[in-house]
């Protein structure tokens, strides 16, 4: 028995109009990767990869978060938020993981740059906000407080 979709000349014959070929639809992970690569610059320091926003304050966020870095303001959360704002949908956790893993792979070619650690008290000291910038080795290199205060 002839089937119109599998036999030559079936479903309208050989001259029948074919449906327009569509461009491949991007997956959630692809969209997240594009968002991450558009909104962040990748840098490396001491064998670790960081994402620094292209616009806004230069806050380096580790791509592979451990311990307390996975909390509020992590790269994972920022990508999740950007995806929801852009698409109105929630990405799967697996797609977030895949996108960040791909960013980590791209970071292998990223520029090696120093990443400084900012340490600030939870309350102002002597009525003034105090913060210390520490070099990656942990030594202080600047302070916003006057000495002796």
Q: What is the pLDDT of residues 132-145, one digit of tens each?
A: 444 444 322 323 33
The stretch 61-75 carries a mean pLDDT of 68
Between 60 and 142, the more confident residue is 60
Q: Is the pLDDT of residue 58 over 60?
A: yes
Between 125 and 30, the more confident residue is 30
Q: Model's pTM, two decimal places?
A: 0.62
CA distance 85 to 87: 6
The stretch 109-130 carries a mean pLDDT of 70
């Amino acid at each position: 028995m002839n089937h119109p979709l599998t036999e030559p000349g079936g479903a309208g014959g050989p001259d029948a109009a074919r449906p327009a070929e569509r461009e491949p639809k991007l997956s959630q992970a692809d969209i997240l990767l594009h968002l991450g690569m558009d909104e962040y610059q990748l840098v490396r320091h001491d064998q670790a990869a960081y994402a620094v926003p292209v616009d806004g304050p230069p806050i380096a966020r580790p791509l592979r978060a451990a311990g307390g870095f996975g909390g509020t303001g992590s790269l994972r959360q920022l990508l999740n938020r950007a995806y929801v704002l852009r698409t109105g949908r929630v990405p799967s956790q697996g797609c977030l993981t895949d996108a960040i893993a791909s960013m980590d792979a791209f970071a292998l070619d990223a520029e090696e740059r120093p990443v400084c650690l900012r340490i600030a008290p939870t309350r102002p000291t002597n009525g003034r906000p105090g913060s210390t910038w520490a070099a990656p080795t942990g030594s202080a290199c600047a302070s916003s407080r006057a000495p002796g205060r």
